[in-house]
Structure 1
């Protein structure tokens, strides 16, 4: 953990079963969606400068299968693909918090409590130019994490999720994910990243262009 960054562990006021929400390091609070548009016809002004958020953001996902010791490789790969926000799954992290990586990249992670078996773990990796736009970090549990960023005059909430392999745990995972998605501010733009370990079957004729022919039968995709 880097000095000055958020320390792991839930906030004392967190509700049971709900991840603590923290203000990100250096983050500022904005009243998103409530700003008034200024009059663009003011005299004495030069041409408007393009805002850095007018370009498209590049998102990615990565199942790390344990992140320990792979941080330098992770930074090299995301820079090679020119990504800016990356959802990480199967990090096998302990606790939750932030970690400053090479060349200014920031890792926001959420894992199992200390003393428990490392089976999951999720995270979000943020490019250096976005670090000052982070408003809030919410480590929900070892399978769901969210990050809120200021995006020009709007806010963006990004989720990273990692679904369990077993069918017994899956309904609980979906309920948790549904709860945090519904809890996001209605005026935010939402991005959901992750590895959902889903089995979608082989009904390629019904779901043309969505799934292929080589999936196992008996796990047909359901619309929700």
Structure 2
């Protein structure tokens, strides 16, 4: 079983446009743009990325995001544009490990990907032995900004269908993640779970704590639209495997009556939640942020994700809210802030005799509260139009699914609109950064200096 492919010589024939220096610069520029940050409000102390200057050995972050996506192949070319998008997904969503299905990776293509992205991402793969370039394949895209790569190991369970990733998480704790791409046919699907159950039972060491991927089957009829159950024998065999591993469906456990779907069949309008994440009972209490989001590039599946907290780390609160930096250059908000500040100053000057109800401390607290409300209100108005459209459509979808008999075609139309907007938003960011790099990439400036500075160990 291969681990990380060794780098090979750069050649335009191998990569096509992907090896162009501008493309490499764009990837670095996107990294730089992410590190500097833009105008999104954050919780101080929770979102920043600090670089340590002491030890050069990387350590996996305490809270990590684990996700899964059926990518429907890697597109044409030795590397393919889709892998550029995968790298951006890891970066933008701060995903530590992204389990992938339908990777369609050959050895040569895997080497090319790992050479191109060696500074930010490595890919481990289990390919289909009969047709690696055109069918099946499972893999893991690992964000090297977050995960320590020294002790990473991949174990093949079913070639092209199931593999386990092991990596050091915290201290001596090793996290084991099982990625599956189950067959479509009901009979083959049931047999697949039996094979995995038997192989895991015969393996030495601990069982995986996370099971995720494309199951091509649902356990509950409400996970399909229109609602209907799957073949009982296949569902029972999957249930036995999950029961033996001591796992449960995290999203369903946190949304017992909720309805959301990860796969849209455009031709029929049918949807299902065949992409899921199961975690062990031990990890369930540390798992949060169960989400389904669009990847930002064409695929009929959505990303399913959750975050895991370091079980040894001290409890960390949510931090304090900080308004987006973009408000500091917004004329309307600056005028509002100045007006409120002058009113505060006048109020403090006229306090007179101090009392428990009227004193500078209370006035200043009221000022901060009012300023926060004004900042939140203005920030919502400044939210890009595309973000408002996506939020509105998602609210409409949720409202439809809460009904007794939602129209699958209406839901599918709205879901397709959301996907198109997500793709547009994703590409808009790449174009904006590419334009900035074209303007400043060859100019001696702060941007150029940061872009070409050596990467410090984290």
Same fold (TM over 0.5): yes
Q: Which runs of 5+ in 2 are unaligned?
A: 9-57, 241-458
92-101 vs 55-64, which moves further: 92-101
Q: How does 1:24-173 map to 2 (within 5 A)?
A: 52-53=59-60, 55-68=62-75, 69=80, 70-94=82-106, 99-100=113-114, 101-102=116-117, 103-113=119-129, 118-129=134-145, 130-140=147-157, 141-151=159-169, 152-173=171-192
Residues 21-78 of structure 1, C-alpha deviation per residue, up to 9 Å, x if partnerless?
Answer: xxxxxxxxxxxxxxxxxxxxxxxxxxxxxx9456221101010000241110111112
TM-score, normalisation: structure 2: 0.33
Which residue of 2 is the match for residue 24 of structure 1?
Answer: none
Instruction: Mark the CA change 1:85 to 1:184 in structure 2 (over 3 Å): closer, same or farther.
Output: farther
Residues 116-140 of structure 1, C-alpha deviation per residue, up to 9 Å, x if partnerless?
Answer: 7833110011111425243422233
SS of the residue 1:168 aligns to: helix
Instruction: Mark the CA change 1:117 to 1:127 in structure 2 (over 3 Å): closer, same or farther.
Output: closer
Instruction: Mark the CA change 1:189 to 1:153 in structure 2 (over 3 Å): closer, same or farther.
Output: farther
Q: How does 1:11-22 map to 2 (within 5 A)?
A: none
Higher strand fraction: Structure 1 or Structure 2? 1
Kindly state the Cα deviation for residue 107 of structure 1 after the two structures are TM-superposed: 0.5
Q: Which runs of 5+ in 1 are unaligned?
A: 6-50, 205-210
Instruction: Mark the CA change 1:218 to 1:197 in structure 2 (over 3 Å): closer, same or farther.
Output: closer
1:174 to 190, 193, 215: 193
135-144 vs 51-60, which moves further: 51-60
Counterpart contact for 1:94–1:118, Cα < 8 Å: no
> How many residues are paired up?
171
CA-atom RMSD in angstroms: 3.2
Instruction: Mark the CA change 1:191 to 1:143 in structure 2 (over 3 Å): closer, same or farther.
Output: same
TM-score, normalisation: structure 1: 0.63
128-137 vs 92-101, which moves further: 92-101
Residues 8-30 of structure 1, C-alpha deviation per residue, up to 9 Å, x if partnerless?
Answer: xxxxxxxxxxxxxxxxxxxxxxx
SS of the residue 1:165 aligns to: coil
